[in-house]
Amino acid sequence: MRYNALQILKQGLTGHKGWKPAWRKAEPKPEYDIIIVGGGGHGLATAYYLAKQFEQKRIAVVEKGWIGGGNVGRNTTIIRSNYMLHENEGFYEFSLKLWENQEQDFNYNSMVSQRGIINLFHSDPQRDAYVRRGNAMALNGADPVLLDQDALRKKCPFLNFDNARFPIQGGLWQPRGGTVRHDAVAWGYARGADKRGVDIIENCEVTGFLIDQGVCSGVETTRGTIKAKKIGVAVAGSSSRVMAMAGMRLPMESHVLQAFVSEGLKPVIPGVITYGAGHFYVSQSDKGGLVFGGDIDGYNSYAQRGNLPVVEDVCEGGVSLMPMIGKARVLRMWGGIMDMSMDGSPIIDKTHVNGLYFNGGWCYGGFKATPASGYCFAQLIATDAPHETAKAMRMDRFSRGLMIDEKGQGAQPNLH
């Protein structure tokens, strides 16, 4: 069933009795051509593009819980392509272009809203760094705009411009950045994949790989053995655990990141704003809630909940940046487990095991990557050749000294 205005009218007139589930509850078959492990945004997008773009058949997505219950349903929904390094920026700009056409492409309202993102700067050197970043963005076809203080005051008069310690001088604005309804991304890709015959198998945890003489020929799951010619793993925060079952150690740590939503308020925040001198970023949802977050808790964690010191830190950052939110009450908060790679950049690559492919290391920025990650991973699995924009996201880059380290900070599992 295609979703469109006429359909809504028709269903409205017939008591909404004709809507069908958006995807089937598939049972595992004994064998597929391709299995994707992990029904998050990246796994579902991979299956969707495999079926649609690369015309692959007999595909299954195997998810241990329910689809959309992982980070794809836990993030703060920001999309942007404002990276500096060429190896990242081309990829994220490709992703932003896919976002711009996503709803039409998969015929689902994912509420892609290009309300813009502003990264604030508070000193001359920070401004210069943003100018440099803006230039790097422009080289990859993105849309940087440098806002001086006057221009920024017009957009965001409520900011604490004259903060004695961190005065706000301006910001790097990307008008095409914004937010997307995160659950709808999972559901839209699931529906589009299902329509093209992909089996989405929920409540099915992968517990092992069938590997013999360097060739992977399937997975063991809580619902039995499933064979496949090719297996792609996209399990985000569980990457180390899952790949350990294939005998691999990854350049990664798992950490918890928290997010917060306030009570609904009148529209006040025009887009996404990130603090350049503290760990705080914020946007306002269409329902009016302030959606905000900050830094990871800072120690290895597989608990999908955070601790109080970071809550305090995030709220301090928020209030020092925009004192007016001090009276807003927090409604909800939660945490998600992130796959923090050692250079802050992701991996989309084959492994040394034939037939086994890996996608992970998304740190806290993998939501915006969802369409491109799915597309590039699908291309890699279907053709065994990397996508042009994902060529540098190799697994062996750490041993070869080819890290993609945006800030030049060295081996640190706490980068964005």
Partner 1 sequence: MIIHHPLLGPRDSAEFIYLGDASLMERPDPKAENAQELFYKYLYLRDNPAGEHKELWYHEQGDRSWLILTRNTVTHEITHVELARRSK
Binding interface with partner 1 (CB under 8 A): 240-241, 244, 249-254, 298-303, 307, 309, 342, 398-399, 411, 413
The 10 Å Cβ neighbour count of residue 120 is 25
Among residues 71, 262, 345, 351, which is the contact residue for ligand FAD, using CB under 6 A? Answer: 71
Q: Taking CB within 5 to 8 Å according to partner kind, which of ligand FAD, partner 1, none is near residue 299?
A: partner 1
Number of residues that bind ligand FAD (CB under 6 A): 40
**Strand ranges in 289-363 using DSSP code E only, listed in sequence order:** 289-300, 330-341, 347-350, 356-360
Q: Closest residue to ligand FAD, Cβ-based?
A: 40
Q: Taking CB within 5 to 8 Å according to partner kind, which of partner 1, ligand FAD, none is near residue 240?
A: partner 1
In the complex with ligand FAD, which residue's Cβ is closer, 121 or 362? 362
Which residues within the stretch 76-115 sit at the binding site for ligand FAD (CB under 6 A)?
76-78
Which residues within the stretch 22-61 sit at the binding site for ligand FAD (CB under 6 A)?
37-43
Q: Taking CB within 5 to 8 Å according to partner kind, which of ligand FAD, partner 1, none is near residue 14?
A: none
Quick note: the x/- pattern for ligand FAD over 375-414, rule CB under 6 A, is ----------------------------------------
Which residues within the stretch 358-377 sit at the binding site for ligand FAD (CB under 6 A)?
362, 364-368
**Which residues are CB-neighbours of 95 under 8 A, at least 6 positions away?**
79, 81, 368, 369, 370, 371, 372, 373
Closest approach of partner 1 to the CB of residue 226, in Å: 23
Q: Write 99-107 long-range contacts (CB < 8 A, 24+).
A: 99/180, 99/368, 99/371, 100/176, 102/180, 102/185, 102/188, 102/371, 103/188, 105/192, 106/48, 106/188, 106/189, 106/191, 106/192, 107/2, 107/3, 107/4, 107/188, 107/192
Asked if 293 is part of the footprint of ligand FAD (rule: CB under 6 A), the reply reads yes
In the complex with ligand FAD, which residue's Cβ is closer, 77 or 379? 77
Closest approach of ligand FAD to the CB of residue 246, in Å: 11
Asked if residue 193 lies in contact with residue 203, where contact means CB atoms within 8 angstroms, the answer is no
Asked if 63 is part of the footprint of ligand FAD (rule: CB under 6 A), the reply reads yes
Q: Taking CB within 5 to 8 Å according to partner kind, which of ligand FAD, partner 1, none is near residue 346?
A: none
Helix (H) or strand (E) holding 233: strand 224-233
Asked if 205 is part of the footprint of ligand FAD (rule: CB under 6 A), the reply reads yes
**Distances from the Cα of 88 to the Cα of 145, 296, 342, 347, 372, angstroms:** 19, 21, 15, 11, 11
**φ, ψ at 315 (rounded to 5°):** -65, -35
Q: How far apart are CA 234 and CA 224, in angstroms?
A: 20
Asked if 178 is part of the footprint of ligand FAD (rule: CB under 6 A), the reply reads no
Which residues within the stretch 256-285 sit at the binding site for ligand FAD (CB under 6 A)?
257-259
In the complex with partner 1, which residue's Cβ is closer, 100 or 316? 316
Q: Write 217-221 long-range contacts (CB < 8 A, 24+).
A: 217/355, 218/31, 218/35, 219/35, 219/37, 219/62, 221/28, 221/62
- Residue with tokens 């190799």, as numbered in its chain: 394
- Residue with tokens 């003489």, as numbered in its chain: 213
Closest approach of ligand FAD to the CB of residue 237, in Å: 6
Name the residues that contact ligand FAD, by CB under 6 A.
37-43, 62-65, 69-72, 74-78, 205-206, 234-238, 242, 257-259, 293, 336, 338, 362, 364-368
